[in-house]
Amino acid sequence: MGNKCQVLAPEDFVLPLLTRPRLKEKYQQYAFADYVRSHPQLRFCPGPNCNIVVQAKESRAKRVKCTSCKTQFCYKCGSDYHAPTDCETIKKWLTKCADDSETANYISAHTKDCPKCHICIEKNGGCNHMQCYNCKHDFCWMCLGCWKAHGSEYYECSRYKENPNIAHESAHAQAREALKKYLHYYERWENHSKSLKLEEETLAKIRERIQNKFEYQQAQLEAEIENLSWKIERAEMTDRGDLENQMDIVEKRRTTLLTDFLQV
């Protein structure tokens, strides 16, 4: 603790000096956290209120999913998984976005005007192919161009077209051009981020519907099996054709359940 002293005080030296249990516990927590952060093969899960420690054989950028809170992140930097961008680039990008927070707030709106009838449209899905609910015009959410014209050149609307003569313009004009370029790429980055969240919400809804459908099919199968069991117990009094028909119904219910859900 001395100024410019490089000697480390080990735990067996510090702990006897800490007489209050709460202070001793807090010291051990900090010591453990410092150990994890300094260890190249260990990392805390960045999930909210999650204390899970993740271990990896090597510290490199790869997708990790916490077994406790299900948070997915990059093992090397701890940010949201960002492939194919490297950790240093995504760090600079996030810093840039944070510095331009007012600009980010300005362009992060969920709505745009239809390029044909100019009615306000809200994007509520992950796909960039939009259709105006008013005039039925199909267009690209990113560049507002006609969707039919995209074809194989769809990537063009994600590429910024710089002014070839900008180097000869004034410093003010160059600054405005730099801001336009940043806004162009920020809008696309923000759009992909929102699309991912929307797709996750859609996936959750689909899984919920599948679960509800499964429970319904399962209940139907159970009901038919109960009916079949009742008839088998009274086989001597049950018509053979009726029994065979019930067996066929049960088999169809079973096949439907297996076909629809075991392959999901």
Catalytic positions are 127
Report how far residue 173's alpha carbon sits from residue 180's, in angstroms, rounded to the nearest whole number: 11
Q: How many CB atoms lie within 10 A of CB 142?
A: 18
Angle (CA) 139-140-141 rounded to 5° is 115
Sign of torsion over alpha carbons 222, 225, 230, 231: positive
Report how far residue 223's alpha carbon sits from residue 10's, in angstroms, rounded to the nearest whole number: 68
- The residues, any chain, with a CB within 8 Å of residue 103's CB and separated by 6 or more, are 179, 182, 183, 186
